[in-house]
Amino acid sequence: MVVSERVDQEPPPVISFNEKDMRYGLPRHNEPMVEIRGGIKLETTFGECNYARTIPVLYTVVDVEALYNLIIGRLVLNKLGAVVSTYHLCMKYPVEKEVRRVWADHQVARHYYEDSLRIGS
């Protein structure tokens, strides 16, 4: 194994603050961003009928207003063997010797996207 040291040609950028920056102060992060209420492990089925896969999923229950009622993380996707395309609103996953797909409803996705834009206004 060869380890080399990287030598930068330029010095790192200088980060400075002036009086105007300091007037607003720094944001406080004493409080948690999301209040966690607990967790629950549930058998979760992806797909329908003969094309379904059921795996145990540990869900974290949080107290937050959100447009989503569920967010699936990387651990679940890896356990499922899934590949996700946000652009295509599609998830592919293996079932026995086949690859199956779950598609999102484009109209529902558009509705939630538009709602998310209104929240910031």
In this structure, is residue 65 part of a structural domain? yes
For residue 87, being part of any structural domain is answered with yes
Task: Tell me if 91 is assigned to some domain.
Answer: yes
Domain hosting residue 108, numbered range: 35-119
Looking at residue 92, its pLDDT comes to: 92
- One DSSP character per residue, 25-87 reads -PPP--S-SSEEEEEEEEEEEES-GGG-EEEEEEEEEEE---S-S----HHHHHHHT-EEETT
Q: Mind listing the pLDDT tens digit for each residue in 54-112?
A: 999 998 888 877 766 777 888 999 999 999 998 888 989 998 888 988 888 888 888 87
Q: Tokens 């209104």: give the residue.
A: 118
User: For the chain, what is the radius of gyration of the CA atoms?
Assistant: 22
Mean pLDDT rounded to a whole number for the chain:
78
Least confident of 10-19, 34-43, 61-70, 107-116: 10-19
pTM above 0.75, yes or no: no
Query: What phi, psi does 23 have (nearest 5°)?
Result: -60, -35
Q: Indicate whether 39 belongs to any domain.
A: yes
Percentage, residues of the chain above pLDDT 90: 16
